[in-house]
Amino acid sequence: MDLLLDPSHWAVLAVIGIIAGFIDAIVGGGGLLSIPALLTVGIPPHLALGTNKLAACFGSLTSSYTFYKQHLFTPALWKACFFATLIGSIAGCGLVFLIDAKWLEKILPLLIISIAIYTLLNPKAMGEKNITVPKSRSPKYKQISQGFILGGYDGFAGPGIGAFWTVTSISLHKLPLLHSCGLARVMTAVSNITALIIFASVGQVQWMLGLWMGVCMMAGSFIGARSAIRFGIPFIKPIFIIMVLSIAVHLTWSAWV
């Protein structure tokens, strides 16, 4: 699908992509920035979601491989979670296409604001409390329920999904923080790829824009991973929340007023 954007829009999306990748590498939730940014420059809702999936695949695949190489994710232990996430993502994508674009324009900003408020009020969502608990094998019913619900959410919209995976993995599976992050990145990659295939099959991906943002997100992730230790979450969190709420309020005003 062809789409004309001003050069300034490409520049803005590049900056947002770098920041989103930076944030995503530290706490997850880069979609809270990238999706509103795409909507703000005039990308239709369904096309914005599909294009964001393409961009998000860059970061999630790269980080998944990194966690796997560092032995922070063991595929054999998470087969049930994998398939549940896959099915959930398909169901979530199907639900998106049942909703009229005009309603999606109204729903997405409210959804993003709700998640941003949740992130602000819940310290665990931003990784402030590094609670280390013993690693244990998780029952299949927990993996299936978590995978289907979060995979469905990621297929439907996805902003904040990395933080949701990390928080729920600590709670449900009693995983150490780094192992929770590893599971979050891998399962997010699963739902991202699944959703990308579905959105692409119905022509709802702007390939050049998605590739452009994806490369920028990779650059941001590279910077973010190395900055996290030095600056810490207390520095990142207020900037993150202010940016997300500012963009989401703008979108809400445009869609509802």
Residue 117, in any domain of the structure:
yes
What is the number of H-type helices and E-type strands within the chain?
10, 0
Residue 106: which domain range?
Answer: 7-255
The count of domains in the chain is: 1
Average pLDDT per block of 10 residues along the chain, 257 residues long: 71 90 73 84 86 87 80 87 95 83 68 66 55 61 93 81 78 78 88 91 90 90 68 62 65 66
Residue 53, in any domain of the structure:
yes
Q: Find all residues with CB under 8 Å of 172, minimum gap 6, and list them.
A: 138, 142, 146
Residue 2, in any domain of the structure:
no
Cβ atoms of 89 and 191 closer than 8 Å: yes
Residue 172, in any domain of the structure:
yes
Residue 30, in any domain of the structure:
yes
pLDDT digits (tens, 9 = 90+) for 32-43: 788 888 888 888
* Residue-level pLDDT at 155: 85
pTM of the full structure: 0.74
Residue 78, in any domain of the structure:
yes
* Residue-level pLDDT at 133: 45
Residue 168, in any domain of the structure:
yes
Burial (CB count within 10 angstroms: exposed 0-12, middle 13-18, buried 19+), residue 134: exposed
Residue 1, in any domain of the structure:
no
